[in-house]
Amino acid sequence: MKRVFFCTVIILSVSLASTTLAATLLYDDFIGNIVSSNQWHIPTWISPLDGTFVGQTQFRCTQNSLLPAANDSQAIITVESYNPAGFSFYGTDLITNQSFALNTGVHITVRAKMDTTMPGIIGGIFLYALKPGSTTLHDEIDFELLTNLPNSVLTNSYSNEPLGVGHRQVVSYVSGSITDYHTYEIKWQPTQVSWLIDGNLVRTDINHVPTGPMNFHLNLWVPDSDWVQAYSPNLKPTTSVLFNQIFRMSVDSVTIEPTPPAPGMFSLAPVLPSLLLDTSTVDNK
């Protein structure tokens, strides 16, 4: 008598769309009395080209400044009218230690507000990186809070482009102003960049999508007269500490996460070894 043995082929297909892939890349709610050096740094002055001076503002450098203070679980980003190093404003540029690659996408959520209505000040919430070997070509995605436009926000993007005007677009708040807490979101994806405020989509750009890795920045600074929309001739730096003015932006939290791939983009099949169909016969005489 002959016995025929059949082994069933078992294939298990798992869709990644039903699997949670996103893991938080950075989260900070600024507990403590100073921003953590485990996640953030400020510029190090190396040369006039390393980004420590913009507009009328010199940014604090690690050689002579601590990281920004935290108060009531808020990072306090400041710019002062007195600068001991010279006749310019003295600002803050807080930068993530980690850079973020595009991959399937990056989702940034920031809750922040300006604490001043003084015209002529800019609060930045943005991704940025110079291209290797260049001092002007760069990638960037911005929210910029201009005290000259208290009921609106300026958005911008650059994709391997020179420093300069970029692709600015002003969007309005549904309610409130820059001095109220709002949730700002940047969704940086392979085919588009989206900006959201308080959960409302305010802009999408499919033509200027950066591709290189970028660090995330929070900064506060004073522009010069070249940027007419943001400049105020009434705001001036001082060489006297007695006349120093301090302006602030408060940041309640920062969350940076990867964006999961689109549904059905990937499949794991098989995830169990296939059992080959065995049609061999065994004689049992």
pLDDT of residue 46: 66
Query: Where are the domain boundaries for CATH 2.60.120.200 in the chain?
Result: 22-259
Instruction: From the options 3.60.15.10, 2.40.180.10, 3.30.70.260, 2.60.120.200, give the CATH code of 22-259.
Output: 2.60.120.200
Per-residue pLDDT, averaged over 80-106, amounts to 94
- Whether pLDDT at 264 is above 90: no
pLDDT of residue 144: 98
**Sign of the alpha-carbon torsion through 68, 233, 54, 226:** positive
pLDDT of residue 53: 87
- Whether pLDDT at 194 is above 50: yes
pLDDT confidence tier of residue 262, bands split at 50, 70 and 90: low
- Whether pLDDT at 273 is above 90: no
DSSP sequence for 91-136: EEEEEEEEEE--TT-EEEEEEEEE----SS-EEEEEEEEEPTT-SS
Distances (CA, A) of 113 to 51, 117, 176: 24, 11, 11
pLDDT tens, position by position, 14-69? 333 333 345 899 999 999 999 999 999 999 876 555 568 899 999 998 887 899 99
- Whether pLDDT at 105 is above 90: yes
* pTM of the complete model: 0.84
**pLDDT top residue among 158 and 274:** 158
pLDDT tens, position by position, 130-166? 999 998 899 999 999 999 999 999 999 999 999 999 9
Terminal C-alpha separation, the chain = 6
